[in-house]
Amino acid sequence: MTTVEEIKAIVAHYDNHREWHDLARGNGNLGDGYYNFVGGIPNNLDIGFPEACRRMTHYLGVLGQLSTESHVIDLGCGEGTPAINMAKQFGCKVTGIDLSANNVLKAKQFLSEESSKAECKIYNANFFELPDEVLQQKFSHVWAQVSFFHSHKHLRKCIDVAFSALEIGGTFNSC
C-alpha cells in the first residue's frame, strides 16, 4: 500500500510545481504528446504541446477501440485533459480519479468550460482506494496515461487495481 508520506509527496509534486508544469507542458496538459515523424525526423513540432496531447489521446483511443459504448476509468487523470478529450472525441463516458485536489479542481473547471456534452465525472481519490460509487462499477477501459510512473514502486498494485476495475473482456490502455 502507498504510505502516507508517498501520497503527500505525490500531491506536493503537483501542487507545488504547477507553474513549471504549465510552462513546460502547456496549461492543462500533462502527458505525452504525439508528433508525426518522417524518416525518423519530426515534421510537425509547430503544432504545440496541447495539440500533440490531443493527438496522443486520440491515437491511444483508436488503438483501444473507444466508442460511444465505452465507459473509461482514467486512473491518475491529472487536470482531466485526456479524460475530457476522450469523452469529446469518442463520445464515451469517462470517470477520472486523481490524488491532487488542485488537479481535480482544475479538471472540474475545464469540464465546466466545455460547450460539448462530454460525459465526464472527476473524483479526488487515491486510485488504490477508489470511492464506493466507483468500486460498484465495471469499466470497459482502464486508462493510465503516465500516472503509473509516479507509483513505480507499487506497479504490481497499480496493475491489480486496473484489472479489478475492468469488465470481462475490457481493455487496459497505458503509456
What per-residue confidence (pLDDT) applies to 36? 61
pTM equals: 0.77
Q: How many Å apart are CA 38 and CA 48, to the nearest integer?
A: 18
Cell 466545455 locates to 114
C-alpha grid cell, residue 68: 460511444
Q: How many Å apart are CA 168 and CA 47, to the nearest integer?
A: 38
What per-residue confidence (pLDDT) applies to 54? 82
What per-residue confidence (pLDDT) applies to 133? 93
Angle at CA of residue 108, ends 103 and 110, nearest 5°: 95
What per-residue confidence (pLDDT) applies to 113? 87
Neighbours of 18 (CB within 10 A): 17
What per-residue confidence (pLDDT) applies to 3? 66
Give mean pLDDT in consecutive 10-residue pieces for the chain, a chain of 175 residues. 63 58 46 58 67 83 94 92 92 94 91 83 90 93 80 79 90 84
